[in-house]
Amino acid sequence: MKKWLRIAGLICALFPPGLLFAQQSTELPALKQEAVTEVDRLRTFTQQMVDQIFSYSELGFQEVETSRYVTGILEKYGFRVERGVAGIPTAWVATYGSGKPVIGFITDIDCIPRASQKPGVAYHDPLVEGAPGHGEGHNSGMAVNVTAALVLRKLMEGHKIAGTIKIFPGVAEEILGSKAFYARAGLFKDVDIVLGTHVWHEFSTSYGTGDGKWSGLVSVQYFFHGKAAHAAGAPWDGRSALDGVSLMNAGWEFRREHLRLQQRSHYVIINGGDQPNVVPSEAAVWYYFRELDYPHIKSLYEIGDTIADAAAKMSDTTVNRKLVGSAWPTHFNKVIAEWQQKNIEQVGMPKWSEADQTLAKALQKEIGAKVEGLKDKVTPLSEPVKEPIGGGSDDVGDISWNVPMVYLMYPANIPNLPGHSWANAVSMATPIAHKGSTAGAKVQAMTALDFLLEPELVRQAWDYFRNVQTKEIHYESFLAPEDTPAIDMNKEKMEKFLPQLKKYYYDPAKYKSYLEQLGVTYPTVKAQP
């Protein structure tokens, strides 16, 4: 035990606890330095975790191996794990420690359909053709959070620091499928702050509306039911469910002209019938309705329902809907973001090697993006934009309106990629992702220490949450009481590819890295003409 802690213990015995914190805070820099050293010591552990989850490649709600693997590690290190939370089989909460403050960590674990890709190869080269893959980089987030949590556990134990660490998985983030259910189940009720983290090509954080490129959304599937008949012999006896879907889509396209410019909506037909000579008795379409705030999202959702009902009427079919996902627009906490930013600046960007830069530039060239390699500077914290324009969504938005939260972006991917594609998987089991995850883990651990040792910061974070963020806007879930998590989603897709994917699971007992196991030369780039 360090000398100052012995003194702190003595002071604690003689004086009220407030004085203890005053004593501890002066030693915060030393504890943070210790955290950095410990995260560096776990470098191989972090790398293996990044590679292992990359190799599992599991779609939303089917993160069975990933959850088994991560909870197994956490249990081994003394975390208490509660499985199947919020009615989701692959969701869990892992807890360590006791008392206040309670610090939550969350990051996503699911992957993207058809994004299978060999890591370290700067052109499209799937590991398993057509299979899911980590074409967003969610394989690295748990390596960041678990590394940080194990380091915190060691420091809390060694220095007798009070507080609780809770780890949550972002199940089915790609279909915005879990966080509103987590919130409804009360998972964040006793949590003081949440330190979320997400892969990116920058090292950054944000607060409020951030860069304004975020929307909230509801994701809804409409199922039309008609009547089968011989499509040529007796079409008059049939009622086409596909007509219902087509009329709904046509209706939405006309209505689109008369919606606010801030809306973004898109759909895919998930069932268009079986074969042309059978009038389709069943058909379905899946919509994402995105807007900037709750009332506008709700309004799009209602318009969608109206158009679906009208389409059913026109086609003499019936329709019912299922809400698959929902997300509030994110709003991150200013106080936590400002402290986190200091830690980002202290840690700094990873040192990229020549090979890292060669891979990044070759991939940027291959996909026709701006060729500029990897970022070499952290991103400054900027003022939130006044007029958001909207863009993608993340269901951590629901958490951010229930408890003060930030979202650390750690630099584990290559800039200028399209997102949600094989290209975004290229770096995700290479030294780029390994170094970026180690850097992220340092910031997560340091920011947690700030709030574990300074209760005043927790109070300030809640002050912003209560008196700025939620002063006029109050959280209301998009979920109706009868809505349940779409836990059967992706089941068939996953089962189809599982036997092939299993052959490629990473074996860290035999291979130092996944690149080594696959026999990939790092980096593999196309020969220059």
Site string for Zn ion, 87-126 (x = CB under 5 A): ----------------------------------------
Helix ranges (H only) for 101-202 are: 141-158, 179-184
Cβ distance 92 to 106 under 8 Å? no
Q: How are strands ordered across the β-sheet holding 80-83?
A: 80-83, 92-98, 163-170, 102-108, 193-200, 405-411
Farthest CA pair distance, the chain: 93
Based on CB atoms, which residue is closest to Zn ion, 102 or 428? 428
Based on CB atoms, which residue is closest to Zn ion, 348 or 392? 392
Based on CB atoms, which residue is closest to Zn ion, 42 or 143? 143
Please give the Cα distance from 217 to 324 (Å, whole number). 11
Based on CB atoms, which residue is closest to Zn ion, 86 or 199? 199
Q: Smallest gap, in angstroms, from Cβ of residue 138 to Zn ion?
A: 6
Based on CB atoms, which residue is closest to Zn ion, 169 or 523? 169
Number of residues that bind Zn ion (CB under 5 A): 1
Please give the Cα distance from 440 to 490 (Å, whole number). 30
Based on CB atoms, which residue is closest to Zn ion, 428 or 494? 428
Q: Smallest gap, in angstroms, from Cβ of residue 155 to Zn ion?
A: 29
User: How many Cβ atoms sit within 10 Å of the Cβ of residue 481?
Assistant: 7
Based on CB atoms, which residue is closest to Zn ion, 34 or 136? 136
Based on CB atoms, which residue is closest to Zn ion, 174 or 243? 174
Backbone phi, psi, residue 183, to 5°: -60, -45
Angle of helix 141-158 versus helix 43-56 axis, rounded to 10: 140
Q: Smallest gap, in angstroms, from Cβ of residue 79 to Zn ion?
A: 24
Backbone phi, psi, residue 125, to 5°: -150, 85
Select from 408, 407, 402 the least CA-distant residue to 462.
Answer: 402
Please give the Cα distance from 360 to 353 (Å, whole number). 11
Q: Smallest gap, in angstroms, from Cβ of residue 108 to Zn ion?
A: 5
22: which 2 tokens?
A: 């005053």
Rg value, the chain, Cα: 24
Please report the DSSP string for 305-371 in residue order: HHHHHHHHHHHT-EEEEEEEEEEPPP-B-HHHHHHHHHHHHHH------HHHHHHHHHHHHHTT---
User: How many Cβ atoms sit within 10 Å of the Cβ of residue 488?
Assistant: 9
C-alpha distances (whole Å) from 289 to each of 119, 145, 517 are: 34, 31, 42
Please tell me the total number of residues recorded for the chain in this structure: 529
Site string for Zn ion, 164-193 (x = CB under 5 A): ------------------------------
Q: Smallest gap, in angstroms, from Cβ of residue 465 to Zn ion?
A: 24
Of 390-409, which residues contact Zn ion (CB under 5 A)?
Answer: none
Based on CB atoms, which residue is closest to Zn ion, 197 or 340? 197
CB under 8 A, 24+ apart: contacts of 33-38:
34/155, 35/151, 35/152, 35/155, 35/442, 35/445, 35/446, 35/449, 36/347, 36/442, 36/445, 36/446, 38/151, 38/154, 38/155, 38/445
* Residue 223 CB contacts under 8 Å (≥ 6 apart), including other chains: 271, 282, 283, 284, 319, 320, 321, 322
Of 237-266, which residues contact Zn ion (CB under 5 A)?
Answer: none
Based on CB atoms, which residue is closest to Zn ion, 360 or 428? 428
Q: Smallest gap, in angstroms, from Cβ of residue 439 to Zn ion?
A: 18
> Scanning the structure block, which residue is given the tokens 């807890």?
95
Site string for Zn ion, 120-149 (x = CB under 5 A): ----------------x-------------
Q: Smallest gap, in angstroms, from Cβ of residue 58 to Zn ion?
A: 14
Q: Smallest gap, in angstroms, from Cβ of residue 396 to Zn ion?
A: 9
Q: Smallest gap, in angstroms, from Cβ of residue 174 to Zn ion?
A: 7
Q: Smallest gap, in angstroms, from Cβ of residue 353 to Zn ion?
A: 26
Q: Smallest gap, in angstroms, from Cβ of residue 141 to Zn ion?
A: 8
Q: How far apart are the first and last CA of the chain?
A: 61
Q: Smallest gap, in angstroms, from Cβ of residue 49 to Zn ion?
A: 17
Based on CB atoms, which residue is closest to Zn ion, 136 or 192? 136
Interacting residue ranges for Zn ion, rule: CB under 5 A: 136
